[in-house]
Structure 1
Amino acid sequence: MRTIKEITASLKAAENIEPWMEEIKQDERTAVQKAWVQFQKRLEKKREILEEHRKKMAFDASFLPHIEALVAGVDEAGRGPLAGPVVTAAVILPNYCEALLGINDSKQLSKEMRQGYVEQIKEQAVAYAIHFQPPEVIDTINIYEATKQSMVESITSLQIEPDVVIADAMSLPIALPQHSIIKGDAKSLAIAAASILAKTARDEYMEMLHDQYPQYGFHQHAGYGTKQHLEALKQFGPTVHHRKSFEPIKTMIHQKG
């Protein structure tokens, strides 16, 4: 009889149900049954991820006007923070891209997982582009218009023109056929990939700002209005990277005269 350690190791290494596992089902040892349950849960999770991936691929394909057409997914990161740019990305993936299994809305992934996907996305992409919209533009034309403008810049910066654009909850002033998708980063593989590129690029930028302004803690809150950030603003005032049209910075500047 195989030892519990041997069985556990074999189940951890297995990727599918195999004939030798029949004897595992009949093994009454508690530890073996526990390992068998864990293996089944892992397979079920893998199946769910694969099914979700197929749904995302089919969703993107549903917008293609013909089989060789290309769809660009567009998303943003950083509309809400008090400091730093809003960052947008446009990504064209190969149709039915099997390689990016597990990609999801960037907010649903850990920092480590997003970082791991970035290089995969860039390697698999037919084309991608990232655009940084600075605070001064946000303050001049408002965050909504600044985000739209940045998305357009991302699309026009693509080395290959897509046949259709799908954007996360945004209608854009472009001549290309487009669709605005509510919660698109959870439905579309291309939008999810754009979400990851935008979020990762912005996080890296905010970590760079932290090196210049360590007193604000940008590496921890990425410019969002946390208690730590608000206290730093009261003590040190806003930097050139803060959005002066956003509260409470707008009031702080007004009170200073």
Structure 2
Amino acid sequence: MANSIKEIKAQLANNPSTELLAQLATDPRKGVQAALQQLQRQQEKLVVRQQALQNRLVMEHELWPNYPLIAGIDEVGRGPLAGPVITAAVILPHDFAVLDVNDSKQLSAKKRQELYLKICAVAIDISLGIADAQMIDRENIYHATELAMAQAVEHLYYQPQYLLVDAMHVPVALPQRRLIKGDARSASIAAASIVAKQVRDHLMTMYDRVYPGYDFKDNAGYGTQKHLAGLAALGSTPIHRQSFSPVKQYHH
């Protein structure tokens, strides 16, 4: 007796053999043919996702023979009025195969969390750097970010031999390549952008409880309407950047 369509779907979900696929191709039932078409679409999508990852590893593959330990560097949080800039340095293994690792801004919160956990599980090394509001006010946002990137590199357990950096120069004595839109072009930088974003979002959610009234958990410190209303009503907090113009008007 022929297998039911439900049984066939279960077989297709479990890495089907070429023989089984050939056999099912001749099955006259509509449900079987629909299941085969669905499998083919899934496989085509998978090939696209695998290719996208390989495209983001081109620079790493080019550099790895000479520099086995490459750190991708990125930052999150240069634009907000409150909270720190968080930088991350991530060294990926040469067999890195986590699909969909891309610029963190292009991922949903759920996808980001899932990829963050996968990156943490397989990375050779991960490190963070922080520029708090006081440092940003003292150094200016650009230089504070550079210093926080250097911090992330210096805190790595394994000293990298080469850096791939999103759009900035890291003030450390290491060869580095500065890539515009690097988080969409290099998997190492994309992984760093995901790690930095997750860490900063969790931090701003915590700050929302410490400093209620600014809606930090939803705006991550950016100058939304609710945030500006909070500033007008409550004044600024120790995590606000006093050198950023909307904050200047609302001193304690």
**Deviations 1:70-92 (CA, angstroms, capped at 9, x unpaired):** 11110011111111000001111
The match for 1:84 is: 83
- Taking the aligned partners of 1:74 and 1:236, their CA distance within structure 2 comes to 36
* Structure 1 residues 216-255: aligned runs within 5 Å: 216-253=214-251
Q: How far 1:8 moved relative to its partner? A: 3.1
CA contact (8 A) 2:130 2:151 kept: no
From the superposition, tell whether residues 106 and 25 of structure 1 become closer, same or farther in structure 2 (CA, over 3 Å).
same
- Taking the aligned partners of 1:71 and 1:106, their CA distance within structure 2 comes to 20
- Taking the aligned partners of 2:87 and 2:16, their CA distance within structure 1 comes to 39
**Deviations 1:138-174 (CA, angstroms, capped at 9, x unpaired):** 1122111111110011111111211111100112222
CA contact (8 A) 2:81 2:240 kept: yes
Matched residue of 2:213: which SS?
helix
Q: How far 1:213 moved relative to its partner? A: 2.0
CA contact (8 A) 1:88 1:132 kept: yes
The one-letter amino acid of 2:161's match is D
- Taking the aligned partners of 1:145 and 1:183, their CA distance within structure 2 comes to 19
- Taking the aligned partners of 1:232 and 1:26, their CA distance within structure 2 comes to 66
The one-letter amino acid of 2:7's match is E
Structure 1 gap segments, 5+ residues each: none
CA contact (8 A) 1:61 1:96 kept: no
The percent identity for this pair of structures is 42
CA contact (8 A) 1:122 1:128 kept: yes
Matched residue of 1:131: which SS?
strand
| TM-score, normalised via structure 2 length | 0.89
The one-letter amino acid of 1:195's match is S
From the superposition, tell whether residues 83 and 39 of structure 1 become closer, same or farther in structure 2 (CA, over 3 Å).
same
The match for 1:7 is: 8
The one-letter amino acid of 1:3's match is S
The one-letter amino acid of 1:104's match is N
CA contact (8 A) 1:15 1:43 kept: no
Q: How far 1:5 moved relative to its partner? A: 2.6
Structure 1, 186-195 or 36-45: larger mean CA deviation: 36-45
| 1:158 maps to 2:156 | yes
Q: How far 1:28 moved relative to its partner? A: 5.2
**Deviations 1:186-235 (CA, angstroms, capped at 9, x unpaired):** 12121111111111111111111011123222111111122222222222
Structure 2 gap segments, 5+ residues each: none
* Structure 1 residues 55-204: aligned runs within 5 Å: 55-64=55-64, 66=66, 69-98=68-97, 100-204=98-202
Structure 1, 86-95 or 118-127: larger mean CA deviation: 118-127
The one-letter amino acid of 1:83's match is A
The one-letter amino acid of 2:71's match is A
The one-letter amino acid of 1:62's match is E
Matched residue of 2:63: which SS?
coil
* Structure 1 residues 28-47: aligned runs within 5 Å: 29-47=29-47
- Taking the aligned partners of 1:116 and 1:221, their CA distance within structure 2 comes to 21
Matched residue of 2:78: which SS?
coil
From the superposition, tell whether residues 16 and 84 of structure 1 become closer, same or farther in structure 2 (CA, over 3 Å).
farther
The one-letter amino acid of 2:10's match is A
Matched residue of 2:79: which SS?
coil
Matched residue of 1:214: which SS?
coil
The match for 1:206 is: 204
Q: How far 1:54 moved relative to its partner? A: 1.9
| TM-score, normalised via structure 1 length | 0.88
